[in-house]
Amino acid sequence: MNLLIVEDERSLADDIRAYLEGPDTRCHIAATVRDALDLVLDKEFDCVILDLNLPDGNGLSVLRELKKQGRKDGVVIVSAKDALDDRIEGLRIGADDYIVKPFHLAELAVRVQATVRRALFNGQDLLYFDELEMDLPAHTAKVNGIQLALTPTEFQLLRLLTASKDRVLPRAVIAEHLAEDADHDRAQELVYAHVNNLKRKLADVGYVDRIHTVYGVGYRFSTT
Amino acid sequence: MKLLHRTRRPFWIYAAVVMVLSVPAYYLVLERQWLADIDEDLTVQKEKLEHGLNARRLSDVELDSAVVRLNALDIGVQLAQGERSMPDHYATVTRPDAFHGHDEPFRTYTSTIHVNGRTYAITVSRVIEETEELITGIALIATITLLLLFGGVLLLDRMSAQRIWAPFHSMLARLKRFQVDDAEPFRAAATGVNEFDELEREMEQLTARNMAMYVEQRRFTENAAHELRTPIALLQGKLERLFQSKDLTQEQATLLEEASTVLGRMHRSHEGLLLLARLENGTAPRSGTSDPYAIVRIALEQADDRIRELGLSVSVERVPDMTWRLDPAMAEILLVNLVGNAIRHNVPGGRIDVRITPSSFAIANTGAEAGLDPAHLFKRFAGSGKGLGLGLAIAQRVCERQGCTLNYAFEAPLHVFRVTLRG
């Protein structure tokens, strides 16, 4: 998978790269509209992570150029602006998603993955993690062909864990992703309960030792 | 009351008073004048007769014969010989008239004449029916003339008022359309009336200043948002990378998690304050309809875990198939905050009762055993420490912006928040 990160904050771009890059994912970084245009005209990307406030202009011009050329690269806008007009304009020109800073890297990973897969599989999107088969559009999961009875929250949780495969997910990040009331003192206990339920349901069909507890921090999903 | 009505009312009252007083006065003065004329005529007639009879130097026999013939002619003069003088007397009487064959009103003049040294009582009279008809006719014409005059003046006044007020109504319509965040500014129109032209110019300047101020404030809010969001994003990225470190000690992990929690809280406070700032600088409420039940249902579904964990019983009573005339985004902010509040401050085994009607929303929840101070409740950061303390401040601000009211009451054991929509 080829990703382009268009972000003028070098430090943030590095964090995004460090989080998203893996054995089958390569990240390129552009800090200006000009650099970004050079890169997108040179090669295709599965997904462009696009900041709007760039030193030499608005990131939307990169998006416009892509659409003008009829390109199919996925685009996730990442911006500190959340004025409704910007959001509508971005999605109108053809961005796939819009995420407001600050965001959790795990959240970005889910959005990028969804964008890439939507473009590639056009609605027929199945993800495999060993015996686990996830149907993203249908929000269902199977292990060895056996349908799992997951609540929407549990499916969302599984989605987040798998999108950040091999990475540690802090409990607070999970709580926020599940739209829990993160300021509630019980939020983290609820996360604990959800993860345990999910683990139990997976174990019932023999899918064990994939979600690891990282003591004092959170959870990590990995395949064998 | 319309300004026009206000200015017209004294005119109407004055016109009515003039009408009521003038028509009878007119009638009375005319009648009096006519009677005076008639009386004068009758007096002259009497004097002519007296003079005529004396001038002929009739003998007593001739005089008696003349008086009998004069009386028999019945031409409005009756003579009767008397002993002494009668005082002059004018009167209006109704008596049978041989000529017309029925009762007629007469004006009579009773007096005394002296002919050949004899004293005669004389009554000169004249039918005055036609005269009365004439006076009534004249009074009627006067009434019609007055009515035409007042009616015409009012009609003209109304027509010219419409023309004079047209620039005002046009300006009012343009002001109503004006929105501070609109690309279309308020433009002064030339009306040809000095006062309105001045008002138009002042209005243009005022709205232009308003727009400039709004743009400035929005820019500030956006800058504030950007300047703080980016560092928070950077910090968050660093923390998440640190979490990935292979050899985190227990102590480091705890510190990291605490730092992460604090950062999350800072982020949410910042977003809440930004939202408040936007609501305060916000534009006029946009129209639109929202489905309060749908919003509440989704909010309850999202909090399903907490509701189950606390064992809350939730009841939603509503009027089916109705919407609110309220901006959907604002309605969502308002209701989600109130629902979140009712859950956050609830107690295990407690309850939440929601009631939705086309004009109101009420949410009651169990919680603290004593009522809360309403004066303190809606202030920022006045929370009990269970949340950020911005939710109710935001909810109230939304209500203010949308012209609704938000009230709190403690109806033991329930804390009740009521929203009343604008009429």
Per residue in A25-45, pLDDT tens? Answer: 999 999 999 999 999 998 899
Residues 243-272, chain B, touching A (beta carbon < 8 A):
243-244, 248, 250, 253-254, 256-257, 260-261, 264-265, 267-268
Given a cut of 60, whether residue B189 has pLDDT beyond it is yes
The CATH number for A126-221, chosen from 3.40.50.300, 3.50.50.60, 1.10.10.10, 3.20.20.70, is 1.10.10.10
| Mutation for A interface: B214, B217, B236, most A CBs within 10 A | B236
| Chain B CB within 8 Å of residue A87 CB | no
Mean pLDDT of B146-158: 87
pLDDT in tens, B5-20: 787 788 888 888 988 8
Mean pLDDT of B384-405: 80
CB pairs under 8 A between A and B: 117
**CATH class of the domain comprising B3-133:** alpha beta
Q: Do B225 and A11 touch (CB under 8 A)?
A: no
Q: Alpha helices of B112-193 — where are they, by DSSP H?
A: 129-177
Q: Do A186 and B309 touch (CB under 8 A)?
A: yes
Q: Do B250 and A215 touch (CB under 8 A)?
A: yes
Given a cut of 60, whether residue A178 has pLDDT beyond it is yes
Share of chain B above pLDDT 90, in %: 14
Taking Cα atoms as reference points, which of A185, A163, A155, A170 lies closest to residue A219?
A: A170
Q: What is the pLDDT of residue A221?
A: 93
Domain B292-420, CATH: 3.30.565.10
Q: What is the pLDDT of residue B176?
A: 86
Does residue A102 have a cis peptide bond before it, meaning omega lies within 30 degrees of 0? yes
Does residue B285 have a cis peptide bond before it, meaning omega lies within 30 degrees of 0? no
Within 8 A of A16 by CB-CB distance, chain B residues are 237
| Chain A CB within 8 Å of residue B386 CB | yes
ipTM of the complex: 0.79
Domain boundaries, chain A: 2-121, 126-221
Q: Do B240 and A153 touch (CB under 8 A)?
A: no
Q: How far is CA B351 from CA A185, B305, B413, in A?
A: 20, 15, 10
Confidence of residue A180 (pLDDT cuts 50, 70, 90): low
Q: Do A102 and B222 touch (CB under 8 A)?
A: no
pLDDT in tens, A55-90: 999 999 999 999 998 888 899 999 887 666 777 788
Q: What is the pLDDT of residue A141?
A: 92
Confidence of residue B394 (pLDDT cuts 50, 70, 90): confident
d(C-alpha B151, C-alpha B145), whole Å: 10
Q: What DSSP string runs through B277-321?
A: HHHHS--SPP---B-HHHHHHHHHHHTHHHHHHHT-EEEEEE-SS
Q: Do B261 and A172 touch (CB under 8 A)?
A: yes
Within 8 A of B235 by CB-CB distance, chain A residues are 102
Q: What is the pLDDT of residue B385?
A: 60
Tokens of B131: 């005269």
Q: What is the pLDDT of residue B284?
A: 47
**CATH class of the domain comprising A2-121:** alpha beta
Q: Do A9 and B234 touch (CB under 8 A)?
A: yes
Higher-confidence position of B87 and A199: A199
Domain boundaries, chain B: 3-133, 194-280, 292-420
